Amino acid sequence: MEHKPQLSLWEKASLVIVLLQVIGTALYAVISAPFRGENGAPTFRKHVTFTTSKAFLSLTTIRQTQAVTASTDEVYLALGKKKGFPPETITLPDGITKAHWIGSKNAERIVIWFHGGGYCLPAGPGHYAYCHEIWNQLSRPGNEAAVLVLSYSLAPQARYPAQLKQAVELVRHLINDLGRRPSTMAIAGDSAGGNLALGVFSHILHPHPAIPPLALSEPFKAAVLLAPWANFATHTSSFQRNQYKDLLGPPAANKWSSAFMGNSPPDNYNQPYLAPVEWWEGIKVEEILVVAGEQEVLLDVVQDIAKKLESAHPKTTTFIAAGEFHDEPVIGPDFGFPECESARMIKSWLAERL
């Protein structure tokens, strides 16, 4: 559950200046596109889109970005209005944290989705649109399915481990209070949401000292980790070679990770990449799917965590989508790009297992 910041007059004035800079960057991208070379984005449109997006996310403060972006809750209500379904929301026992249903709250099969956005940005239209597509693919006559999207608190208003606690408490509420079985549920997350999903599995295996343990009688049916932000470092090889082929850049990533971490040191929960293979042995899920785009800056990070999961849990599948950028199944539609290969693959993979 996030609360949008109210900008001061100075913040509003500086935002106007920033937007003018972003427009200038976009115009320069249009002019420079023919000279981008092999290291640049594969198409003119992607070059302009990625350059403009990186400029906006780098130049705006987190407060400014949050103020001009619809909240996770607002986007959910807009989706319901667009798709014609009544909103249905869970409020957890803390009285603050919410989660939003796509599909029937009484559905037997559930995908819990943790959204990305560097822990600082809300779920966008692309998140909900893709979750709606997943729900539609999973739906079968007489055997309902649903997707449940957690509206966690955003950084820097809430810092680690606040979001992990909210995610764990959502799972606990579903199992202990609503009587749902893990074997009929999948845990999924994109980017920072993939980080959060891994944090939940870590907590189940090795309880976080600040969060009550969560014991399971059986494993979850499946897990999907879409471009999981498992390591906050921005000096990796893929950050260098894909810096002009992706819409995520070091300035925004560093800003978001600092806002999320605050004064907390890195650990196995907030940066799963640090955990050894042994940490993941006995992970409470039947099958895992790890997905990344070939041209995303997080590619090395995703492949590294995937290798550890594969070593600890043989039923782990890694899929690297040729030519795709970071989190393309979710972000691509927001920029008008057609459905990508990994988007179709994730939907079919879940439908075959859940």
Q: What is the DSSP annotation of 74-115?
A: HHHHHHHHHHT----EEE-TTSS-EEEEEE-TT-SEEEEEE-
Q: Would you state the pLDDT for residue 102?
A: 98
How far is residue 199's CA from residue 87's CA, in Å, rounded to a whole number?
28
* Lookup result for tokens 């680690």: 160
Phi, psi (degrees; rounded to nearest 5) at 314: -55, -30
Query: Treating both helix axes as pointing N-terminal to C-terminal, what angle do 44-59 and 250-261 enclose, rounded to 10 degrees?
Result: 40
Here the tokens at position 146 are 């649903």
pLDDT given at position 2 = 62
Residues 339, 240: Cα–Cα separation, whole Å: 26
Residue with tokens 């003018």: 20
Write down the pLDDT at residue 296: 98
Contact between 151 and 99 under an 8 Å Cβ cutoff? The reply is yes
For residues 105 and 87, is the Cβ–Cβ distance under 8 A?
no
Q: Is 7 exposed, middle or buried (0-12, 13-18, 19+ CB in 10 A)?
A: middle
Residue 158 backbone phi and psi in degrees, to 5: -130, 130
**Helices and strands (DSSP H and E) totals, the chain:** 12, 8
Distance in angstroms (rounded) separating the CA atoms of residues 259 and 240: 23
Percent helix, strand, coil in the chain, to 5, is 45, 15, 40
| pLDDT value for 143 | 84
pLDDT per residue as tens digits for the range 180-204: 999 999 999 999 999 999 999 999 9
Q: Which residues of the chain have pLDDT under 70?
A: 1-2
Asked if 201 contacts 157 with a C-beta cutoff of 8 angstroms, the reply is no
Q: From its phi and psi, is residue 179 left (phi > 0), alpha (psi between -120 and 50) or beta? A: left
| Exposure letters 232-255 (e unless 16+ CB within 10 A, then b) | bebebebbeebbbbbbbbbebbeb
Rounded Cα gap, residues 315 and 160, in angstroms: 30
Report pLDDT for 171: 98
CB-based contacts of 88: which residues, under 8 Å, 6+ apart? 100, 101, 105
Q: What is the Cα–Cα distance from 51 to 175, expressed in whole angstroms?
A: 44
Six-digit token pair at 193? 């949401």
By C-alpha distance, which of 104, 102, 89 is closest to 173?
89
For residue 320, the one-letter residue type is: I
